[in-house]
Amino acid sequence: MSLKKINIRISILILMIVLAAATRMLNLGNIVGWANFTPVGAVALFGGSYFQDKWKAYLVVLLTLLLSDLAINYFKYNITGLDRSAVVVYVSFAIMVFIGTYIKKVNVVNVGLASIGAVAIHWLLTDIPSANSVLYTHNLPGYIQSLGAAIPFELKMLSGHIFFCIILFGGFELAKRKYTVLQTKRELAV
């Protein structure tokens, strides 16, 4: 694969990830019923699936999400930096990228199952009561309560994953059909 093909493919992937992450600035969380309807999981799955060098998937996805988090915190909440729970959230994002690396054949079933898995990981990790959590006790019953309370938010997150996966995966697959420069050597050989 020529350097030009690699640069165009990578540039398009990065552009799609940045544009999807930028939709977080639309502030859908303030619209009643839309909290957690975000592109973060779809971006992570998409990056994990399409970057041939997997370290680029982690770098681009996590850096893009970090920058969008910092922008949201600054412009929406007038604070700089991230809160203590960000480590767990970013671990869940990294696991989502990892799940995306296992999407070898892009189709509705594979992307749908990956989306469900990504939301489940986010749900199980981010709802562990942390040291600064005052809503739930720091034991198994508190964790179970937290999981139960988070179900509506995680369902919205799954809706966001599905919506943005359709746009990202579907858009890139359509673009690959029209522009062979976006295809990998393996895809061109078939």
Is the pLDDT score of 6 beyond 70? no
What is residue 113's predicted lDDT score, i.e. its pLDDT?
96
What is residue 41's predicted lDDT score, i.e. its pLDDT?
93
127-143 mean pLDDT: 74
Q: Which tokens is 152 given?
A: 């509506």
- Rounded Cα distance between 48 and 180, Å, is 21
Q: With bands split at pLDDT 50, 70 and 90, how would you rate the model's confidence at 75?
A: confident
What is residue 131's predicted lDDT score, i.e. its pLDDT?
52
Q: Which tokens is 161 given?
A: 């994953």
Q: With bands split at pLDDT 50, 70 and 90, how would you rate the model's confidence at 79?
A: confident
What is residue 133's predicted lDDT score, i.e. its pLDDT?
66
CA of residue 128 relative to chain centroid, distance: 20
Nearest to 115 by CA among 25, 184, 31, 40: 40
Is the pLDDT score of 84 beyond 70? yes
Total domain count for the chain? 1
What is the residue range of 161's domain?
3-189
- Residue of 131 and 182 predicted with greater confidence: 182
- Rounded Cα distance between 23 and 27, Å, is 8
Using CA atoms in the order 42, 48, 50, 54, what is the torsion angle rounded to 10 degrees? 160
